[in-house]
C-alpha cells in the first residue's frame, strides 16, 4: 500500500531544518497524498508560504485569520487530517504542545486533532538532551504520539551531535510504514458494526426522568476500536457526556428506550455485528405528566410499564448478524449471564459484576468475562479501551470459526 489518497497535515515550526520540508512535501504529493501545511509565525523566518504552497498545491496558513478576514478553522484543519506531522518541532513548540500553551494556529490545530500525531524534533544538541526536552518527549509519547528521533550530525551552531531533524526520507518512510501497518490491522474492513451505548432516560414529567448511572464509556471505546479496525460504525447513544470525532463513526443520539429501539431497526438489516452495550431502562412511567409534578403529598405512587426489550428483539429478528449482549449483575452472575445468552438468542455475552472493584458504571476500567454457548474466557481489570480490544478480538475469533 502507498500513501495515495491520504490526508497529511504538516505543521512547521521555526527552526533552520524547515528547509527540508520542501523535499518531504514533494515526496508526499508525488506519491499521491494530499498535503496541507500550517506554520507558526516564526517559521516564516525560514521558509516562505509561496514555496510551500507551490509544492503542496494548497494555501498555507500561519494565523487564525487570512488577510481578507476569513477564519482559518483549526477544528476543520484537525478533523480533515489522517495524520498530523509536526516538523521541524522546536523545543518551544514541543513544550507548548505537551503543556497546552495554545497561543498560535499550530497549537490550536494540534489540540483539536483526533488523528495520529508524528513529531520530528530539531534543535541544538544541548537543548535536545536537556532534562526538560527529554521529559517533554516522554510526555508526548505518553499521549500516544510517535516521536521520530533526531539524528546526529553537524548542527546549525557548528557543533556536532544529536539534534538534526530526521531526513525527509526517514520521515516519509515512518509515515508510510504507519499506513501500511494500519492497513494490515484493518481486520473489520468492510464490516458494519452497530453499537448501543449509555443509559436511556424515561420521562416522568418535563423535568424528571428514570435512568441509571451508565456513562457510555464502554460503548464509545468499542466504537473507536471498531473504527480503527476498518469497520463502518453506527453508534446509537443515550444521554452521555462522551464525545467522538471519527469519520467512520456515525453517531445517533436518543433519549428513551423506544427511541433506541426505533433507531436500531433503522439499520439492523444492513449490519454485520451488533453490540448492545447500552444500559436500557427496563421500565418507564405508564403516563408522562404534561406539567411538572408538584410536591404536594408525602408519598408519590408511580405506575411503571415494561419497556421494549431491544436486545431480545434483535435476537428474534437475527438473520446473519453476529449479536453481542452485555450483562451487569450483582448476584448469580454467571448463571444469569448464560440464561440471557440463551433467552435472547445471542452469539456471545459480556459479563461484568458490580462486586468487582473498578468494574461497571462510570469507571474508566472494567473487568469482564465472555461467554458463548461453548466457551468462557476471563480477563483482568483493564482500561475500557483495552477491554474494547479484548471484546473485538473475541468477536473476530468467533467470526473466523
**Residue 268 CB burial class (10 angstroms; 0-12, 13-18, ≥19):** middle
Contact 230, 189 (CB under 8 A): yes
**How far is 341 from 360, CA to CA, in rounded Å?**
19
Using CB atoms within 10 A of its CB, is residue 5 exposed (0-12), middle (13-18) or buried (19+)? exposed
Hey, what's the cell of 302? Answer: 408511580
Of 325, 301, 284, 264, give the one whose Cα is nearest residue 200. Answer: 284
Grid coordinates standing for 77? 484543519
What residues pair up with 84 in beta bridges, in sequence order? 9, 117
Residue 121 bridge partners (DSSP): 89
How far from 193 is each of 41, 264, 323, CA to CA, in Å? 44, 11, 10
Q: Can you tell me whether residue 193 is helix, strand or coil?
A: strand
DSSP state of 150: P
212 part of the active site: yes
Grid coordinates representing 91 are: 523545543
Specify which residues 85 forms β-bridges with. Answer: 10, 118
SS3 state at 174: helix
Catalogue the long-range contacts made by 149-155 (C-beta closer than 8 Å, 24 or more residues apart): 149/121, 150/120, 150/121, 150/122, 150/123, 155/124, 155/125
Angle at 218 between CA 249 and CA 225, to 5 degrees: 45
Rounded CA-CA distance 221/382 in Å is 12
Catalytic residue among 72, 92, 173, 212: 212
β-pair type (283-285, 304-306): antiparallel
Residues identified as active-site: 212
Amino acid at each position: 500500500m502507498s500513501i495515495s489518497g491520504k490526508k497529511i497535515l504538516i505543521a512547521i515550526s521555526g527552526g533552520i531544518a524547515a528547509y527540508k520540508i520542501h523535499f518531504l512535501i514533494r515526496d508526499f504529493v508525488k506519491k499521491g497524498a494530499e498535503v496541507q501545511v500550517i506554520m507558526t509565525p516564526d517559521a516564516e523566518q525560514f521558509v516562505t508560504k509561496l514555496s510551500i504552497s507551490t509544492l503542496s498545491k494548497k494555501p498555507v496558513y500561519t494565523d487564525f485569520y487570512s488577510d481578507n478576514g476569513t477564519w482559518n478553522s483549526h477544528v476543520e484543519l484537525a478533523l480533515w487530517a489522517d495524520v498530523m506531522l509536526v516538523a521541524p518541532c522546536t523545543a518551544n513548540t514541543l513544550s507548548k504542545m505537551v503543556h497546552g500553551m495554545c497561543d498560535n494556529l499550530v497549537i490550536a490545530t494540534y489540540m483539536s486533532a483526533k488523528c495520529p500525531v508524528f513529531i520530528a524534533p530539531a534543535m541544538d544538541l544541548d537543548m535536545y538532551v536537556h532534562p526538560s526536552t527529554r521529559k517533554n518527549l516522554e510526555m508526548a509519547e505518553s499521549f500516544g504520539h510517535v516521536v521520530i528521533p533526531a539524528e546526529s550530525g553537524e548542527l546549525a551552531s557548528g557543533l556536532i551531535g544529536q539534534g538534526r531533524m530526521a531526513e525527509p526520507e526517514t520521515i516519509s518512510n515512518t509515515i508510510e510504514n504507519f499506513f501500511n501497518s494500519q492497513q494490515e490491522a484493518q481486520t473489520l474492513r468492510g464490516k458494519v458494526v452497530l453499537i448501543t451505548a449509555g443509559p436511556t432516560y424515561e420521562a416522568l414529567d418535563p423535568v424528571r426522568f428514570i435512568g441509571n448511572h451508565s456513562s457510555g464509556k464502554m460503548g464509545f471505546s468499542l466504537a473507536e476500536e471498531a473504527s480503527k479496525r476498518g469497520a463502518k460504525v453506527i453508534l446509537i447513544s443515550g444521554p452521555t457526556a462522551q464525545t467522538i470525532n471519527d469519520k467512520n463513526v456515525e453517531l445517533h443520539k436518543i433519549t428513551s428506550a423506544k427511541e433506541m429501539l426505533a433507531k436500531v431497526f433503522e439499520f439492523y438489516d444492513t449490519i454485520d455485528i451488533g453490540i448492545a452495550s447500552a444500559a436500557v431502562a427496563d421500565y418507564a412511567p405508564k403516563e408522562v405528566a404534561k406539567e411538572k409534578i408538584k410536591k404536594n403529598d408525602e408519598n408519590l405512587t408511580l405506575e411503571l410499564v415494561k419497556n421494549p426489550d431491544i436486545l431480545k428483539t434483535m435476537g428474534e429478528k437475527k438473520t446473519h448478524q453476529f449479536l453481542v449482549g452485555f450483562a451487569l449483575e450483582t448476584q448469580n452472575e454467571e448463571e444469569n449471564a448464560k440464561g440471557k445468552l440463551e433467552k435472547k438468542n445471542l452469539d456471545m455475552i459480556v459479563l461484568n459484576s458490580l462486586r468487582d472493584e473498578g468494574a461497571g458504571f462510570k469507571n474508566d476500567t472494567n473487568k469482564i468475562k465472555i461467554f458463548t454457548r461453548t466457551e468462557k474466557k476471563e480477563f483482568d481489570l483493564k482500561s475500557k479501551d483495552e477491554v474494547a480490544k479484548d471484546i473485538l478480538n473475541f468477536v473476530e475469533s468467533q467470526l473466523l470459526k
